[in-house]
Structure 1
Amino acid sequence: MNQSFYDKLQILEPEERKLEEMERLKAMERPLLSWYRENARILPWRETPEPYRVWISEIMLQQTRVEAVKPYFARFMKALPGIRELASVSEDELLKLWEGLGYYSRAKNLKKAAELLVEQYGGELPASYEELKKLPGIGSYTAGAIASIAFGIPVPAVDGNVLRVISRVTGSREDILKQSVKSGMEEKLKKIMPKDAASSYNQGLIEIGAIVCVPNGAPLCGRCPLSSVCVAKAEDLTGVIPVKTPKKPRKAEDKTVLMLWREGKVAIRKREDAGLLASLYEFPNLDGHLSEETIYSLFGAKAAKVTALPGSRHIFSHVEWSMTGFRIDLSGTLEGDYLWVTPEEIKKTYSLPGAFKAYTKLIR
């Protein structure tokens, strides 16, 4: 960027900073890159930004905090150090490695993509933004992140953090949840991002959104390298921008979780192949909050003992489960499509989603 332009910008009074949108975006480059060099967090996937490591970290970081991802990333890399290992791993082993991260379709798409990479790309991620977008589970953001961080290709990586930062810098009142707004921002950034520093530029914007222009709470404008060009800061609009359509209320569902025990083993079953928690194992459960009397009536003489368990609650993106539970010690066989497993097998082999965490803990 032109040095004199940036210096002129620095000395303008707030009321004089009536820059065009693209000028503001161009003015971000020098302070952004300088700030990132000094303030980038040390993260395991940044230390060795190889394509496979970048890909796995970006998928794990979707909907998940950095600190929560770190141990999962280390365990995943140890068990599946490359694309070929990921392509050949069993689904049960893969989901066990993913257990607790949630959004399990991410893990399934990783395996599907790895299989395609082995079949069509010689077991390597392609150094192409367009080719990356063809892989299962990879959209424009993830393709941009891999392309820029691992291969240095100058394409934007616009996630929620970047949408928030750029909306505030430009003073945009557009709804950032609209795909058209995200696509428009990608096109603008593509025109002005540096060709020789794509990785630092994208990661710098993401980093500012994560630790300065934070997603929850007031932004730390005093620590932001972009504050001098930020419309929201100058006009005291950080509480208004970004604009997001209010989320619809979550659907509330009541569940009764059944921990069926027989000869030292507990029953689990596999969910349907489509829908919420598709193809994952679960403890049998019934709709509604059932009473102990109802449980005895359902199992009859086979229920040698019924013990009430603590309630639990789990929030999905669109649904919230309110759960009660019972341990049912059985005195005979039970018909049904159940898999009877030991506590050790639950610990080492079978992955149960976090929705059942309160009950899984009772086994362990």
Structure 2
Amino acid sequence: MSQHDPKFLPEPQSLRPENLSGRLLSWYDRNRRVMPWRALPGELADPYRIWLSEVMLQQTTVAAVIPYFQKFVERWPTVMDLAQAPLDDVLHAWAGLGYYARARNLHKCAQTVAAWRGGVFPDTEEALRKLPGVGEYTAAAIAAIAFGKPAVVVDGNVERVMARVFAVTEPLPRAKRQIKEHAATLTPRERPGDYAQAVMDLGATICTPRNPACGICPLMAACVGRQLGMAEALPAKEEKPERPTRRGIAFWATRKDGAVLLRRRPEVGLLGGMIEIPSTPWREDKWSLEDALPEAPFQAEWRLLPGLVRHTFTHFHLELVVAAGKIGPAALTRGLWVPLDKLGDHALPTVMRKVVKHALLKAY
């Protein structure tokens, strides 16, 4: 049998929950990261700031989130302020963070909390999960950090720490349930919010994906992965299928005064409700200009600009060719005509800002 067979894994040293959680909390008290949404020692956490930061942090780094978070709380300091904001303003402030469904759900959630609870967030996981855009992880994080409930908080950092400490060899995502069960055994009833943030900080600063600093880790003596010499290989992950490539043609439509045509995407689906440069549907097959003309916003002498706009979404790569054309005096169209110097006032997602940049370089 292999020494990595789970049946033959050694018991971790001193793997008593109170020992490990206490050791980690002591480490956290000395090494906690300072973040604009975190309460200082002795202060009460603000549920609004915790919720906002957790939604922003999904699939995004702390460094990327901090300026967005600060901009949001300066503009909308309470959940009531955010609930009253126009959706387009929220989407515009969100532009660049990606995954725009999060921004729409953020706005819906703020309105729900404002309307149903007068701006007061619920304090249990069960109630929090009923809010728009609040899933299992976010509900647990808010319950633990903002309300001191002993919720089991498991993000990517926590998964990595638990997989290594307990030598979980089953690959993700199949191992998620097992990892959460291990995390539950260590979650203390005292200071659960600090504990949750401590595990996250440990994963972000010491138990890192590559070259973990095991020698200074407060859980070093108990880590089975380290004992087996396999910590850096954990958590194991199933190979992801190769992302397919989709293609389309975007229409850089202008009129005599230089204004550019924008339109809003359907509410449902990728980039739902966002403002875009009009384009064909995105498909695997390449588009010829002739194929794309029925999708154009109006009849014109369209010409293809040289080069491609490339963008990668979670599940596919996108390649867009840009076609430029000017509206004639008799052409009819729907959308919003925007002067070039006002394009920045609209909530264009990153891929559409790439289209704008490409068109400005190639069409003039």
Using structure 1 for the length normalisation, give the TM-score. Answer: 0.84
- Does residue 32 (structure 1) correspond to residue 35 (structure 2)? The answer is no
Alignment check: 8 A CA contact 1:289 1:324 kept:
no
1:162 to 154, 158, 162: 158
Cα shift readout 1:97-118 (whole Å, capped 9, x = no counterpart): 1111111111111122122212
* Structure 1 position 316, deviation (Å): 0.8
- Does residue 234 (structure 1) correspond to residue 227 (structure 2)? The answer is yes
Cα distance in 2, alignment partners of residues 206 and 277 from structure 1: 30
Instruction: Name the structure 1 match of 2:198.
Output: 204
Cα distance in 2, alignment partners of residues 77 and 299 from structure 1: 38
RMSD of aligned Cα (Å): 2.9
Cα shift readout 1:26-65 (whole Å, capped 9, x = no counterpart): 5422331122122222111114631100100010000111
Cα distance in 2, alignment partners of residues 301 and 268 from structure 1: 16
Cα shift readout 1:135-183 (whole Å, capped 9, x = no counterpart): 11111211111111111112121111111110110011223313xx434
Instruction: Name the structure 1 match of 2:6.
Output: none
- Does residue 176 (structure 1) correspond to residue 172 (structure 2)? The answer is yes
* Structure 1 position 274, deviation (Å): 1.9
Change (3 A) 1:166 1:21: farther
Alignment check: 8 A CA contact 2:20 2:186 kept:
no
Cα shift readout 1:46-98 (whole Å, capped 9, x = no counterpart): 14631100100010000111111111111111121111122222111110111
SS state at 1:44 partner: coil
Q: Which has the higher strand share?
A: 1
What is the one-letter code of the residue matched to 2:207? C
Change (3 A) 1:248 1:164: same
Alignment check: 8 A CA contact 1:167 1:173 kept:
yes
Cα distance in 2, alignment partners of residues 300 and 183 from structure 1: 53
Instruction: Name the structure 2 match of 1:320.
Output: 317
Instruction: Name the structure 2 match of 1:189.
Output: 183
Change (3 A) 1:296 1:83: closer
Alignment check: 8 A CA contact 1:312 1:358 kept:
yes
What is the one-letter code of the residue matched to 2:34? I
Percent sequence identity is: 35
Alignment check: 8 A CA contact 2:12 2:222 kept:
no
Aligned length: 344
1:302 to 294, 300, 303: 300
Cα distance in 1, alignment partners of residues 184 and 47 from structure 2: 21
Cα distance in 2, alignment partners of residues 107 and 301 from structure 1: 35
What is the one-letter code of the residue matched to 1:37? D
Alignment check: 8 A CA contact 1:25 1:189 kept:
no
Cα shift readout 1:209-255 (whole Å, capped 9, x = no counterpart): 1222224x332323322222111111111243212222222121122
Q: Which has the higher helix share?
A: 1
Cα distance in 1, alignment partners of residues 216 and 185 from structure 2: 27
After alignment, is 158-167 or 308-317 more displaced?
308-317
Q: Structure 1: state its 5+ residue gaps.
A: 1-16
Alignment check: 8 A CA contact 1:218 1:238 kept:
no
Change (3 A) 1:334 1:144: same
SS state at 2:151 partner: coil
After alignment, is 310-319 or 294-303 more displaced?
294-303
